Amino acid sequence: MEKKNYTISVYSENNIGLLNRISAIFLKRHINLESFSTSESEIPNVFRFVIVVNIDSEKVRKIVQQIEKQIDVIKAYYHTDEETIFQENALYKVKSSSLFEERQIQNIIKDSHATIVTVSPEFFVIEKTGFREDTEKLRKNLAPYGLLQFVRSGRISVSKAKMGISELLNTFKNNN
């Protein structure tokens, strides 16, 4: 079966140990994570994991079943890239001297639509949000000028289709 990128979105309670429980599901099946990020969701006290894996559709379906089975998981979904809006965020730390000495670097920043976050006498920091190709292209372009540090976030993503977690939580409230 064909492997592709799937974005798994997990809505959960904010409990210690759940991260371990979820990562154990991938570990047990020898699956590497392409990206992982977590934050509070649109609902207070409900957290959201966004996990990207490159596997086939049957595997992702079974994994989502296993994730959803965890007591503290409210609901889990999976989507293909086409079904989501997703971005990554990257930070680039560059020597300040190169900003002034290398004219080309200013063009690179301009062309990439990156933002300068901070400038100090020693270094400056550029921020770029976009697809993997965009942040990667900027990294490659900046590399010759001496990248002091580079870091990229995990994918954050929202689905095009409705997930309806609030409605789901309301039905639980009414049932209990």
Partner 1 sequence: MNTDKQNIKKNSSKSIRISGAEAVIRSLLEEEANLVYGYPGGAIMPIYDELYKFQDKLHHVLTRHEQGATHAAQGYARTSGKVGVALATSGPGATNLVTGIADAQIDSTPMVCITGQVASNLLGSDAFQETDIIGISTPVTKWNYQITKASEIPEIMAKAFYIARSGRPGPVLIDITKDAQFEELDYSYKKCTGIRSYRPYPELSVDSLKKAVLLIEQAKKPFIVWGQGVILGRAEEEFKAFVEKSGIPAAWTILGLSALPTDHSSNRGMVGMHGNYAPNLLTNECDLLIAIGMRFDDRVTGSLNTYAKQAKVIHMELDPAEVNKNVHADVALIADCKISLKEITNRISNRKYPQWIDRFDELDAIENEKVIDGDLNPTKPGLTMGEAIQMINKHTNGDAIIVTDVGQHQMVACRYAKFNQSKSNVTSGGLGTMGFALPAAIGAKMGASEREVVAIIGDGGYQMTIQELGTIFQQKTAVKIVVLNNGFLGMVRQWQQLFFDKRYASTEMVNPDFVTIAKGYQLEANRVSKREDLDQAVKKMIDSDKPYFLEVCVEKEANVFPMIPTGASVSDIRLE
DSSP conformation class of 32 = -
Q: At 1, list the tokens.
A: 């079966």
**Which span (48-56, 69-77, 102-110, 113-121) binds partner 1, by CB under 8 A?**
69-77
Q: At 21, list the tokens.
A: 């429980």
Rounded to an integer, what distance in angstroms lies between the CA atom of residue 68 and that of residue 167?
Answer: 17
User: Is 151 a binder of partner 1 (CB under 8 A)?
Assistant: no
Nearer to partner 1, 42 or 101 (CB): 42
Rounded to an integer, what distance in angstroms lies between the CA atom of residue 15 and that of residue 1?
Answer: 35
User: Is 73 a binder of partner 1 (CB under 8 A)?
Assistant: yes
Rounded to an integer, what distance in angstroms lies between the CA atom of residue 85 and that of residue 65?
Answer: 23
- Footprint on residues 7-36 left by partner 1 (CB under 8 A): 12-13, 16-17, 20-21, 24, 27-28
Interaction site with partner 1 (CB under 8 A): 12-13, 16-17, 20-21, 24, 27-28, 61-62, 65-66, 68-69, 71-74, 169, 172-173, 175-176
